[in-house]
Amino acid sequence: MADTELNLKIRPLDDRVVVEPIEAEETTPGGLYLPDTARQKPQRGRILAVGPGKLRDNGERSALAVQVGDEVIYGRYVGNDIEVAGRDIKIMRENDILAKVTR
């Protein structure tokens, strides 16, 4: 878990993850400034903490496909927005994540 990164005192349950959104760009590729009202809601973020995995019928936990530090893309209106230590974060289920960003 990434308790030290944000001084997080949150431990997600089951298949939930804590994501810090990466803010949308302030300018277009052509260099035009975008005011706050024109920016889209962020759909990328960095995983700060992961739960232990979903509990299956046989009593074992399913491993999550993401881990702390991964950059992910998620749906526009998924998860729950909360504020911790003055920073906005999202708590969502692993299946709300659409993809991992690879470099």
pLDDT value at 98 more than 90 = yes
Partners of 99 in beta bridges: 73
Of 16-20, 23-27, 38-42, the least confident: 38-42
Domain segments of the chain: what residues? 3-23+38-100
Cα gap 15→66, rounded to integer Å: 10
Average pLDDT across the chain, whole number: 83
Partners of 90 in beta bridges: 19, 81
Cα gap 87→23, rounded to integer Å: 12
- Looking at domain 3-23+38-100, its CATH architecture is Roll (2.30)
pLDDT of the residue at 3: 42
pLDDT value at 39 more than 70 = no
Comparing 1 with 52, the larger pLDDT belongs to: 52
Whole-model pTM? 0.76
Of 14-28, 56-70, 87-101, the least confident: 14-28
β-strand 87-93 against 16-21: which pairing, if any?
Answer: antiparallel
CB 17 within 8 A of CB 95: no
